[in-house]
């Protein structure tokens, strides 16, 4: 009887620990990154130059791939959702306060092109 109680207590302790870790991991993943205001530059998977400015009012502006301009996008929770104008589309999220991973496309020219950009200056 005593042994059964010890085993039951140990199993309960393990379950409580696992639930605690699971809920803290979920809580941590729901926290969004606070993007750093400033100029960002990077490359897409075809080595094209990406650049944009993220402003303190939560807007990505002057997004360009080489010399092609894309529409401004509203940032919320460390990311911007699929934003298009005249078939020019972007979406992305910050993985740290200074690094962005995303995709761009021109819907009349094919699929998404992944990119990574990093903060370069204020």
Which tens digit of pLDDT belongs to each residue from 58-78?
Answer: 999 999 999 999 999 999 999
pLDDT of residue 2: 61
Distance of CA 71 to the CA centre of its chain: 18
pTM of this structure: 0.74
Whether residues 64 and 27 fall in one domain: no
SS (H, E, C) 59-118: EEEEEEECCEECCCEECECCEEEEEEECCEEEEEEEEECCEEEEEEEECCCCCCEEEEEE
Is the same domain home to 52 and 97? yes
- Which residues in the chain show pLDDT less than 50? 5, 7-30
Q: Does 23 lie in the same domain as 3?
A: yes
Tokens of 47: 């080595």
Give me the number of domains the chain comprises: 2
Say whether both 22 and 43 belong to one domain. no
Same domain, 14 and 54: no
Question: Computed from CA positions of residues 38, 87, 110, 95, in that sequence, does the dihedral angle turn out positive or negative?
Answer: positive
Give the pLDDT of residue 110.
82
Name residue, tokens 């020219």.
Answer: 109
| Structural domain harbouring 48 | 38-121
Q: Are 42 and 100 within one domain?
A: yes
CATH number for 86: 2.40.128
Is the domain of 112 the same as that of 81? yes
Same domain, 25 and 85: no
Q: In this structure, are 90 and 47 located in the same domain?
A: yes
- Please return the burial class of 49, using the count of CB atoms within 10 Å of its CB with bins 0-12, 13-18 and 19+: middle
Instruction: Please check whether residues 91 and 63 belong to one and the same domain.
Output: yes
Alpha-carbon distances of 70 from 2, 3, 45, 67, 73, rounded to whole Å: 70, 68, 18, 10, 9
């Amino acid at each position: 009887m005593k042994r059964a109680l010890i085993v039951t207590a140990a199993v309960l302790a393990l379950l409580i620990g696992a639930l605690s870790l699971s809920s803290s991991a979920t809580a941590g993943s729901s926290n969004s990154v606070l993007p750093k205001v400033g100029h960002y530059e990077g490359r897409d998977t075809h080595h094209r130059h990406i650049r944009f400015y993220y402003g303190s009012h939560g807007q990505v502006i002057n997004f360009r791939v080489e010399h092609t301009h894309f529409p401004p996008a509203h940032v919320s929770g460390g990311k911007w959702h699929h934003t298009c104008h005249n078939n020019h589309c972007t979406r992305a999220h910050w993985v740290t306060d200074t690094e962005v991973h995303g995709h761009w496309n021109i819907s009349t020219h094919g699929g998404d092109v992944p990119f990574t950009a990093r903060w370069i200056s204020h």
